[in-house]
Chain A
Amino acid sequence: MNNTNKENSLWAAIKIGLLGGAVALFISLVGMAEVFSKRDVVEKTMTLGQFVLLAISVASGLLAARRTAALLDKPNTASQAAAGLVAGFFSAAILTLFVVIGAKINIRTVFLNASPGLYSMLTLNQGVSGVWILPVAGAVSGLLGALSLSLPNAVRRPLFHAILFIFFMALFSGLFRVVMINQSGFWEKTAKYLFSQTGMTRPGAAIFFALVAAISAFWSAKGQAIKTDVANLPKGGQIGLRVIAFAVIAFIALGLPLVSGAFIAQVIVIVALFILMGLGLNITLGFAGLLDLGFVAFYAIGAYTVGLLTSYGQYGLQHISFWAAIPLAVLVAMAAGFTLGLPVLGVRGDYLAIATLGFGEIVRLLAGSDFLAKYFGGPQGIIGIQKPCIGVLGEFTKVDVPRVCYSLFDAAKPGIELGTPQSIYYIAVASAILIAFVSWRLRESRLGRAWMAIREDEDVAEALGVNLIQTKLLAYMLGAAMAGLGGAIFATLIGSIFATSMQLIVSINVASLIIVGGMGSIPGVIVGAIALIGLPELLREVSEFRYLLYGATLIIMMLAKPEGLWPSKTTQRELHHLDAGTSAE
């Protein structure tokens, strides 16, 4: 009996190892490992590529050790360590085999990324004779992973957190470095001490590691006590804490674009625009349960409306200010929502997905068509979109000359033109906050209840007095209005719009970010947009593999956390209804 269990656990370790090896081979062959190896985690010590590959071996070892503990009657550290060693070895074995084969046969004709760079990265520049490094490193990592299981929680947790933090810090080190160096003086010196050109310096990594480990250890020891202390505070104290937290967040939000530079500001603007679209789709899909795969159409309509109304280029119609164009863009988007909603009122489920998909494509094709090129510019798009101006706009003189922005108080002085991403940041973030608030109020309203009721059961909702036509149309219109607002800001951010940027993939992105964040949850939309739009934009290395990671994230999410990153309370309760049953009074 015990013998077969031992065999089983050996097999399990090999299987887990091979699985890890397959993952390692995959990320090597798609080119991720090599791209990652250009960035350092710790300067002159470990590249990000090595880090990821080692992490796979460590994880294999850890999983194998855990499996062994579950399989054996009397698990002990030695058997777990052995399992970790085996799994770690096998997780690297596949890559070893790959390097050996690759040295003999040119497999690059099939796998483009099987480049000499990849081989030398895998063998630490030793060539094929250094291939022994791989299985040894794998086995050691697997062993370490397995041994980490026998560490007490108080040590393992901080260790894990610190390593995770180092990983993220390495990914973002470039951004932090640039921002800090731009501040010059003390910050510049600190940045140069902590970060190298490609990653963290050795002292930098050590400082971060120690810091995070210490905080994590402190929190796991004292966190609960602090939480109860806060909960026991008198009401005034709690409100005070909230006010302080709010003030800190507001201070950071207001000050961020001043230090961040154009790139980070632009990424945040784009995240905010996706939040606007996400909140819009959250109304139609999350609240009312009406799938819309052509959601980008409303974004496009908002953008084109602002473009046509404000552009000083040849397609500009009215040359009005951005501020006057925004409400019009929202209204036009709402009208478009009505136009989409009306014909698909009776359409449900899969058919609705197809119909809305068609709508999105029709809008994009019409906007970019030669047929309508004299109105919408066709493939050339609309350029010369007037920047928002705080002040008074001068007269429109002639095509291709922007209207001048004058000061509100002195017509001779220039006003404040919001031309940079840093200044659009304020418009975008304020809009996102406003619309999040509107969404929240809508959800708690009578209309919000009606949406949820039709999402659950249209017939019953109707029998209870919900006007299906009105309720559904309002869902389409309000969702469209939010996306239209996003599009309007997008137009002024970029200064020009092209039909080709209104692809189906944008709609899919919006739907994905809602799913990842948590269907029907407003904070979920924000978290989803940051995770799916913000991170890939910030991480240039990763952006090449954006859709690969997207797919992986979606699958993992659906398996591990189907309710989303920040689910609405309802979904949470639905998926864990046993807890709900016990917590009910």
Chain B
Amino acid sequence: MSMLTVNNVHTYYGSIHALRGINLTIEQGEIVTLIGGNGAGKTTTLRTISGLLKPAQGEIMLEGDDLLRYKPHEIVYKGLSMVPEGRGVFARMSVLENLEMGAFSRNNKQEIARNLDHVMTLFPRLKERRTQLAGTLSGGEQQMLATGRALMAEPRILLLDEPSMGLAPVLVELIFDTIVQINKEGVTILLVEQNALMALSIAHRGYVLQTGEIVLSDKAEKLKSDPEVQKAYLGIE
């Protein structure tokens, strides 16, 4: 059984037809990336999967469980976490409080404490700044915090929306290294990125999204060498 299956999903913003029949499959343990230009529907896809948007039509299955039956806040209990675009840290809460909020869906205090330790080792910067207000962190630290917070829910699949946005190249590399590490620890990853080159270099497979439709899907290596993709998204003529 696939980890996540998205079947013929259509999502509207009012009268705008944002997703026109999306099909995706993600297998257990994979890193799958979704690349595409501005307004292609990448974020909409993630928001639809995580339940914040209701599709007009289609099917979203998490390990054979129909996600559309659940309310948005229930989906995290099914093992799916999202790191939203622009990080969405709780600016007026401390780093520690943010991380604790990430474990909102869980009850076992010991496990949460263990998870907290794990996140702190993954992102030592967060440990240094744990009493600081999240709004006062730098962009890279906020991205770490948002990622760490999502991990606090102990997800089996993690959805990341543009983790490289607005970050210095060094930090982008650091974040992507961490993503690989998280994946190695057994978390399946769906990564949405504008920085297609970076995304394809760590992903196993990729989908190319254009005006609400999947136009291409293949192994990451293949996509990287595809002339169309190179021209449109990798800036290689």
Contact = CB atoms under 8 A, between A and B. Distances in A.
A467 B73 contact: yes
Interface string A460-492: 111111111000000000000000000000000
B91 interface: yes
A46 B137 CA distance: 55
Interface in B99-139: 100-102, 104-105, 128-133, 135-136
Nearest to A453: B101
Nearest to B107: A446
Contacts of A453: 90, 93, 101, 104
A456 B72 contact: no
Range, interface on chain A: 20 to 34
B124 to A, nearest CB: 13
B219 interface: no
Contacts of A52: none
A465 B92 contact: no
Range, interface on chain B: 35 or more
Given A449-B101, A570-B92, A585-B128, A462 B72 contact: yes
Interface stretch (A93-101, A385-393, A576-584): A576-584
Contacts of A462: 52, 72-73
A463 B128 contact: no
B134 to A, nearest CB: 9
Given A465-B73, A580-B133, A584-B129, A460 B90 contact: yes
Interface string B195-224: 000000000000000000000000000000
A159 B128 CA distance: 45
B76 A449 contact: no
A499 B82 CA distance: 50
Interface in A432-476: 446, 449-450, 452-453, 455-457, 459-468
Interface in A402-455: 446, 449-450, 452-453, 455
Contacts of B105: 464-465
B76 A464 contact: yes
A551 to B, nearest CB: 27
A457 B88 contact: yes
A571 interface: yes
B184 interface: no
A42 B28 CA distance: 84
Contacts of B129: 584
A467 B133 CA distance: 24
Contacts of A570: 92-94, 133
A470 B172 CA distance: 38
A579 B225 CA distance: 50
Interface in B57-95: 71-77, 81-82, 84, 88, 90-94
B71 A465 contact: no
A459 B76 CA distance: 13
A529 B81 CA distance: 43
Given A457-B88, A460-B84, A468-B73, A581 B132 contact: yes
B90 A457 contact: yes
A7 interface: no
Given A459-B88, A570-B92, A446 B104 contact: yes
Nearest to A468: B73
Max chain A C-beta neighbours (<10 A), residue from B51, B71, B105, B133: B133
A419 B77 CA distance: 54
- Tell me if A's interface is mostly helix, strand, loop or mixed: helix
B3 to A, nearest CB: 18
Contacts of A73: none
Contacts of B31: none
Contacts of A585: 128, 130-131
B153 interface: yes
A581 B72 CA distance: 35
A483 B162 CA distance: 45
B132 A584 contact: yes
A148 to B, nearest CB: 38
B142 interface: no
Contact of A574 (B82, B92, B97, B130): B92
A44 interface: no
A452 B73 contact: no
B149 interface: yes
A464 B72 contact: no
B84 A459 contact: yes
A463 B76 contact: yes
A452 B75 CA distance: 21
Given A446-B104, A467-B73, A584 B128 contact: yes
A242 interface: no
The 6 residue pairs across chains A and B that have the minimum distance between CB atoms: A465-B105, A456-B90, A460-B88, A465-B76, A577-B136, A584-B132
5 contacts: A453-B93, A455-B92, A456-B90, A463-B82, A464-B73
Interface of A: 446, 449-450, 452-453, 455-457, 459-468, 570-571, 573-574, 577, 580-581, 584-585
Interface of B: 50-52, 71-77, 81-82, 84, 88, 90-94, 97, 100-102, 104-105, 128-133, 135-136, 149, 153
Given A459-B84, A585-B130, 7 more contacts: A452-B97, A455-B92, A463-B82, A465-B74, A581-B132, A584-B128, A584-B131
